[in-house]
Amino acid sequence: MKIKYLGTAAFEGVPSLFCTCRVCQKARKTGGHELRSRSQAIINEDLLLDFPPDTVWHSQRFGLDWTKISDCLITHDHSDHLYPEDALMAVEGYSHHHRPIHFYAAQSGYKRLMEFVPFSETAGAAISLVVPGRRFHAGEGDRYSVLPLRANHEESTSPVIYSIACEGKRMLYAHDTGVFYEDTWKGLKEEGRYDLVSMDCTGCLEKSGPDYHMCLRDIRRVLEKMREEKLTDEKTTVVLNHFSHNGGLTYEEMCREVEEEGMIVAYDGLEIVI
Ligand SMILES: [Zn+2]
Ligand SMILES: [Zn+2]
Ligand SMILES: [Zn+2]
């Protein structure tokens, strides 16, 4: 199972438009891994995670192969994760030959997508409603087993995190969530051990409160509990992702901070095989 991070920032991207803070200025000057676009990832060649306004840019930059992409899981409907206006490009008139793309979104994102895309059997695009706690299968031959669980994020956006298993490997994509709810822990425990966990690190070292997003302090607590519950072990890959300039640290500084713990700081283009 391969995961490639296409975009690794929170809403504003890094650098943020207009902003002249230290992190944004450093990103403009240094470029490379300090530049972050809005959150999106792809598993293997066919399963997209989220559909931000930077999807067009990711497709151009990383050469996404639209003969292979077949499914897209939406975490919630904040605009940095779901930009439904661009989903319209999947239908006739905006695109011609491609594999039909199947979106999966919980209530709010489902509603938003339905407003923009005339989904039908012939439209080149389909949609399914995601219900937290209810497992479904995605991809060719149902190769992905997906368990959506409730995220600790703004309720009106119907936020979920995804536990995704394929070919004997399992990963957790936990972005735009604060410290997990009890029912989410229950779902995770039923899943078992993870080969990779991708954790929300919007706040970098510290942020106020346990809700909506996490910081390194929250992540360490969550990881400790995951280890106690045998959801992770020393072989589990831990990736920190979804960064904001408001967290106050650059890519390079975050790497130094977590070097000894062996965590990986995501950047646009990072590829990991588990
Ligand atoms: Zn976000
Ligand atoms: Zn800034
Ligand atoms: Zn969000």
* Tens of pLDDT, residues 103-142: 999 999 999 999 999 998 778 899 999 999 999 999 999 9
Task: Give the ligand at the shortest distance from the Cα of 154.
Answer: 3
Pairing of strands 136-138, 125-130: unpaired
Q: Are 37 and 58 in contact (CB under 8 A)?
A: yes
Coil, strand or helix at 185:
helix
d(CA 97, CA 67): 8
Q: What pTM does this model have? A: 0.97
Beta bridge partners of 165: 145, 170
- CB count within 10 Å of CB 59 equals 15
| Cα 128 to ligand 1 centre (Å) | 22
b/e code 206-225 from CB counts within 10 Å (16+ = b): ebeebebbbbbebbeebbee
Question: Which tops the pLDDT comparison, 156 or 124?
Answer: 156
Which residues have CB less than 5 Å away from ligand 2 (the ion)? Answer: 16, 19, 21, 24, 245
Q: What 3-state class would DSSP assign to 171?
A: strand
In the chain, % of residues over pLDDT 70: 99
Give the number of whichever ligand sits closest to the CA of residue 247.
Answer: 2
- Residue 42 CA to ligand 3 centre (angstroms): 19
pLDDT of 163-216, one tens digit each?
A: 999 999 999 999 999 999 999 999 999 999 999 999 999 999 987 766 899 999
User: Are 37 and 7 in contact, with CB atoms under 8 Å apart?
Assistant: yes
Question: What spacing in Å lies between the alpha carbon of 242 and ligand 2's midpoint?
Answer: 15
Query: Where are any strands of DSSP class E within 87-143?
Result: 101-106, 125-130, 136-138
Distance 211 CA to ligand 3 centre (A): 11
Antiparallel, parallel or unpaired: β 144-150 and 136-138: antiparallel
2-273: which CATH architecture? 4-Layer Sandwich (3.60)
Own/partner pairs, 29-32, CB within 8 angstroms, 24+ separation: 30/250
Q: What is the pLDDT of residue 112?
A: 97
